[in-house]
Structure 1
Amino acid sequence: MSNPATQRKIIDAASRYSDIDERYYEWEDGLSSAGLSLILPKSSLSTFDWCVTGYHFDQLIGGILTASEHDIQRRQGNLFAVPDHVLLFIVLVGGLDCQCRGRRFEVGQGDMLIQDMSQPVSISVRAGSAGPCTYQYFILPKSSMAFSVDIAPLHGHCLHAASPLNRMLRGHLATMLALFDQMTEMEVKGVGKGASNLIIETLALLSGKALDSPFEHSTKLERVCLFIESSLGTQLTVEILCKRFALSRASLYRLFEPLGGVACFIRNRRLAMAQRMMRDLSMRHLSLSAISRRCGLEPSVLRHHCIQHYGEPPREIRRELRTQFAHRTHTQHEPTHVGWVSTL
């Protein structure tokens, strides 16, 4: 049985780096793939230890990591990194002390933490009696949900270890990681697709909106959303959408009400597109004005919304994204979590 390509697996650890600063930047770089930043006192740098094994299942990224105690957070300043994804943490050893939406709560052994990567969160990673904190992580794009699940209300939801949904999903995902090295390339892709659908169905059940089918989402909302996604650089108005999909204005507004309204949805998708272009090194020759217009936005509008929603102007966001790449010491041929997530 042939193993999947080495580009689908990452094994990394602090012990690989003799320089303390490099250890820090490598860990921080990995966290940035989840839109998170590391908070660690300088006094703890020399003893900070971590190791991670990551797997790319084509439509899903998963892995296991172990780390010394530290704090991580997603703030306004780094929300712009990867807002189009969903992140699951499953605690194996130790625990997570979380602060989200004004409440504090604990995520213990076996519990599953659901995160909308467009929303802020603060997490303290703590060790357990059996050793340093160890947890599994899984990242999938919101687009895989075909806009049929509103993930925002589930941000910060803790699915407890004893619940049937947790036990079934946790068991499936753990087996998937354990058998990765025994699967062929085709099997890895198929298993990733199946796991993504299982996660989507679980999230739909938690949100209280059962899907007609866990594998085929062909709602009218999805078709409109996918058209918008393919037309972000062009003029998009309520009139154009109503005419194309034979909808009245009232029907269109009702469709998008759960997503914050049609204008809000289009704006957020354009902002996400601008983010991807600012992060893409192949587009570094483009000015911010050119990026804005390719996304269907005026430069002043992009600046206004970046400051309003992400706390920073586009120029600063672009500089920070480039700094992240500058800190990376991997070779061109070595896979990274940041590279993986950007292709989901």
Structure 2
Amino acid sequence: MRPRRNPIPDLQTMNKPISRLDLQSSKLGRQAALATWKAALPQYEISLGTDLDDFWMDLSAWLLRKVVFTHGQTSPTRLERHADRLSDGYDNFIFVHFMKGRWQGEADGKPFTLNEGEVILLDGSRPFHGLATASSYAMVNVPRAVLIELAPSLPLLHGRVLHSASGWLLADHLAALSRALPLMHQGEAERMANATLTLMAACVGNLTDKAQGDMGSLIPAVRLRVERHVERNLTSPDLTPQTLCRDLQIPRSTLYRAFSAFGGISAYIQSRRLDAARAILFHPEDRRSVEEISRHLGFGNATSFARSFQRRFGCTPREARQNGSTFVASSQVLFERWQSVLRANA
């Protein structure tokens, strides 16, 4: 007879402090703080909206199991996610709440303006750029799989400012969380993280297909339809540009235009399959061979799969499995990369 599992949580674990990082220009110096910030966020291009002599920053980040929460204050700054960096596998949604200041930019070529007190939602797998005034903000990195699990039918999210009652509620919640997190222990913080994710899912659930039309273009809606179809059919050997046009009744020219920022639709399909392969390799209980994973995800053979994987992630599939992670694989890995960069530059 098997022993019964103890339902009582590990109180020592639940009451330990939250993993936290701090980056302050007043302690590191302006130049070192800026260099550290750039090194910790290689998926972005960061530049100053002012001279280095006027640059200042004070950032704190917390790891809350599934997400990374950041609260910061910075001088004017430009943040860009270039199309040529999309192949790095960074696949997070980013909720940004400006408590003070203003942010203006473009997401997928569409302008956005984020005013004080508002929340914007950005898709890290797509290009964007923005120039912020001196600001105070809260930012939450949410892995795509985490948000999709809570909101399976995601509407078009990239560059959306959450102008709704639930959006204002989320803004107030993120501002309050930035004040309360320094006082929380791990168990309490993780419960609040789950509540935050539930609130986020409620917010995006209010974005209807009709509202998507406000983006002013057919292309984003086409891309969303295709992305959903690709995710449902990643393992199908028949997933090709031709079958997408046929099954979704999309003109070939429209399909290719919708995915031009990703190097074309074929490149997009391959990148999503490589992301899925990486997730399998990192799963502690999935021991399928590289050849089995290659067949499962529709690659021609294990050799071509390994070459494509190494071009995308800088290591072979076997090396990835042995190392167990890349910096974009999960919130924990992202946070650990930040830790290593901060230690190296302290």
TM-score range, shorter chain: 0.5 to 0.7
Picking from 44, 52, 65, the partner of 1:36 is 44
Structure 1: runs of 5+ lacking an equivalent: 128-132, 210-221, 240-248, 255-259, 281-288, 307-312, 320-334
**Contact 1:149/1:203 (8 A) holds in 2:** no
What is residue 90 of structure 1 aligned with on the other side? 97
**Contact 1:59/1:196 (8 A) holds in 2:** no
- After TM superposition, list the pairs within 5 Å mapping 1:286-325 onto structure 2: 297=299, 314=311, 318=314
What is residue 222 of structure 2 aligned with on the other side? none
Q: Percent identity?
A: 19
- After TM superposition, list the pairs within 5 Å mapping 1:206-217 onto structure 2: 206-208=207-209
What is residue 245 of structure 1 aligned with on the other side? none
What is residue 327 of structure 2 aligned with on the other side? none
Once the two structures are superposed, what CA deviation does each residue of 1:294-333 show, in whole Å capped at 9, x if it has no partner?
97646657878x9xxxxxx927x739xxxxxxxxxxxxxx
Picking from 309, 330, 337, the partner of 1:339 is 337
- After TM superposition, list the pairs within 5 Å mapping 1:234-253 onto structure 2: 236-237=236-237
Picking from 68, 81, 86, the partner of 2:75 is 68
Q: Is 1:52–2:59 an aligned residue pair?
A: yes
- After TM superposition, list the pairs within 5 Å mapping 1:1-344 onto structure 2: 5-6=16-17, 8-18=19-29, 20=31, 22-32=32-42, 35-40=43-48, 44-127=51-134, 133-144=135-146, 145-146=148-149, 148-150=152-154, 153-160=156-163, 163-208=164-209, 236-237=236-237, 267-273=270-276, 297=299, 314=311, 318=314, 337=335, 339=337
**Contact 2:87/2:271 (8 A) holds in 1:** no
Give 1:227 shift. Answer: 10
How high is the TM-score relative to the length of structure 1? 0.61
SS across alignment from 2:193: helix
Instruction: State the alpha-carbon separation in 2 of the partners of residues 17 and 61 from structure 1.
Output: 23
**Contact 2:99/2:175 (8 A) holds in 1:** no
SS across alignment from 2:207: helix
Give 1:293 shift. Answer: 8.8
SS across alignment from 1:165: helix
Once the two structures are superposed, what CA deviation does each residue of 1:95-134 show, in whole Å capped at 9, x if it has no partner?
101122333332110111110110100100113xxxxx11
Code of the residue aligned with 1:203 in structure 2: it is V
Once the two structures are superposed, what CA deviation does each residue of 1:229-286 show, in whole Å capped at 9, x if it has no partner?
xxx7xxx5469xxxxxxxxx99xx67xxxxx9x99986343232567799x9xxxxxx
Give 1:138 shift. Answer: 0.9
**Contact 2:273/2:297 (8 A) holds in 1:** yes
Structure 2 vs 1, CA of residues 181 and 48 (structure 1 numbering), >3 Å: closer, same or farther? closer
Structure 2: runs of 5+ lacking an equivalent: 1-10, 211-227, 249-258, 260-264, 283-290, 316-332, 340-346
SS across alignment from 1:180: helix
Structure 2 vs 1, CA of residues 263 and 99 (structure 1 numbering), >3 Å: closer, same or farther? closer
**Contact 2:105/2:112 (8 A) holds in 1:** yes
Instruction: State the alpha-carbon separation in 2 of the partners of residues 69 and 336 from structure 1.
Output: 25
Q: How many residues align structurally?
A: 264
